[in-house]
């Protein structure tokens, strides 16, 4: 293991977060998948910056992330990218409220992406994602109002269901 660095502290910050007051099993299923998926990508990116790339921690994460590629193609999950872009066009105020990771990775106009499972903000740069970005991203995913919006019948979940209905008609 490498010496502890600033990214190791961010991992500790991530793992200090809790969903005790929330029940993710009651989240809208597609939004739940992408919530957990984004956290897995954040975790993996931080792990690569904190630990040796050949560590068992990173190997376990790679195994999950390989599995999720197929999972992303199941059911209504395939519509998530379209949903993010629909939000941007039709509900810009709600688009502004979604976590930056989602808008950076799934907005068609954004250069951000998951590359080899790592979160990459600028594919043309070799610099790691700045530590401050991770703190902000983690706080956005654990924001009380955002978490509440993921429950069926709440704002983001309802908009996703509306998007699906519009797509299917």
Mean pLDDT of 85-109: 97
Any domain includes 68: yes
- Residue 115, judged by CB atoms within 10 A of its CB (0-12, 13-18, 19+), counts as exposed
> Is residue 133 one of the residues assigned to a domain?
yes
pLDDT beyond 90 at 131: yes
Task: Give the total number of structural domains in the chain.
Answer: 1
Residue 163 pLDDT > 50? yes
Domain-located, residue 20: no
Q: What is the radius of gyration, based on Cα positions, of the chain? A: 16
User: Is the confidence at residue 12, as pLDDT, over 60?
Assistant: yes
Structure pTM?
0.90
The answer as to whether 112 is a domain residue is: yes
Nearest to 36 by CA among 65, 75, 7: 65
pLDDT in tens, 47-96: 999 988 888 988 989 898 889 888 999 999 999 999 999 999 999 999 99
- Within a domain: residue 18? no
Indicate whether 153 belongs to any domain: yes
Residue 22 lies in a domain: no
The C-alpha atoms of residue 106 and residue 118 are separated, in whole angstroms, by 14
Query: Is 1 domain-assigned?
Result: no
Q: Please give the Cα distance from 110 to 98 (Å, whole number).
A: 14
What residue numbers bound the domain in which 80 lies?
Answer: 6-13+27-168
């Amino acid at each position: 293991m490498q010496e502890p660095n600033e990214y190791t502290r961010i991992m500790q910050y991530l793992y200090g977060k809790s969903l005790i007051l929330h029940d993710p099993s009651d989240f809208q299923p597609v939004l739940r998948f992408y919530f957990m998926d984004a956290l897995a990508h954040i975790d993996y990116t931080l792990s690569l910056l904190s630990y040796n790339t050949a560590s068992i921690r990173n190997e376990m994460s790679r195994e999950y992330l390989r599995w999720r590629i197929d999972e992303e193609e199941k059911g209504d999950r395939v519509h998530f990218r379209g949903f993010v872009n629909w939000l941007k066009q039709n509900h810009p105020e709600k688009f502004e409220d979604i976590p930056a990771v989602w808008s950076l990775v799934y907005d068609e106009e954004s250069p951000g992406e998951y590359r080899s499972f790592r979160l990459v903000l600028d594919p043309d740069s070799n610099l790691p994602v700045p530590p401050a970005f991770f703190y902000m991203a983690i706080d956005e995913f654990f924001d009380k109002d955002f978490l509440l919006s993921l429950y069926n019948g709440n704002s983001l979940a309802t908009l996703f269901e509306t998007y699906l209905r519009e797509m299917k008609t």
